[in-house]
A and B are shown apart, each in its own frame.
Chain A
């Protein structure tokens, strides 16, 4: 069975500092990985996915199959980045699109 681990429940940085939210996964197949974000009082929304290799709101994430990691990074954090971030894995096959979520990391960016 697949598993997603986000080792940090809370992460605090100051504005302008680099930030890295860690995500590790275990899955025997070839995974598709995503980062979802939930801002205060808002619904969960897709931030980015590894397959598109895009940068959204200054965030990037690279899939490292050797280390089974998909860490989310931003070189200069902004206060508006404060939110709950979830790493998620899609296993494909007959899972009907089911996503496995990590425990989430609450990022706080201080002014």
Chain B
């Protein structure tokens, strides 16, 4: 199997605070993880590509200082939304790629972030 978990599943935070979201590959090692943002009934917007042991590669228009990504081990990547604002409220999804698969990504269940 290839299971990816995310924690927390939903989080509410106050404007100006920071919140961390974890993405774990439970039964495989993931050299690459991806972070997406999904708006209601809309497409996935890739935010960044995270490679273990190196800096994340951010997509154009994504603020790297606001969305901090750390991929410290082969099974864990974290996304920290710093100084969150209501417009950051969204559904954040991570996915992971197995080293032996060039294309297939395994998705986490997502994290609903609400900033009040």
Interface of B, secondary structure class, is strand
Per the 8 Å Cβ criterion, residues 76-111 of A in contact with B are: 84, 86, 90, 92, 96-104, 106
Q: List the A residue with the shortest CB-CB distance to B109.
A: A43
B103 / chain A contacts, CB cutoff of 8 Å: 32, 34, 49, 90, 92, 97, 99
**With contacts A96-B32, A104-B42 known, is A43 near B51, CB below 8 A?**
no
A84 / chain B contacts, CB cutoff of 8 Å: 41
B21 to chain A, nearest CB (A): 15
- Tally of A-B residue pairs with Cβ under 8 A? 56
A17 / chain B contacts, CB cutoff of 8 Å: none
B73 / chain A contacts, CB cutoff of 8 Å: none
A56 touches B (CB below 8 Å): no
B44 touches A (CB below 8 Å): yes
Per the 8 Å Cβ criterion, residues 47-105 of B in contact with A are: 49, 51, 57, 93, 95, 97, 101-105
A49 to B105, CA, bound (A): 12
Q: List the B residue with the shortest CB-CB distance to A101.
A: B44
Contact A102 B105 (CB under 8 A): no
Q: Which 8 A-B pairs have the closest CB atoms?
A: A90-B103, A44-B107, A103-B43, A97-B97, A43-B109, A43-B107, A101-B44, A104-B43
Which B positions have Cβ atoms within 8 angstroms of A? 4, 32, 34, 41-44, 46, 49, 51, 57, 93, 95, 97, 101-105, 107-110
Which A positions have Cβ atoms within 8 angstroms of B? 32, 34, 42-46, 49, 84, 86, 90, 92, 96-104, 106
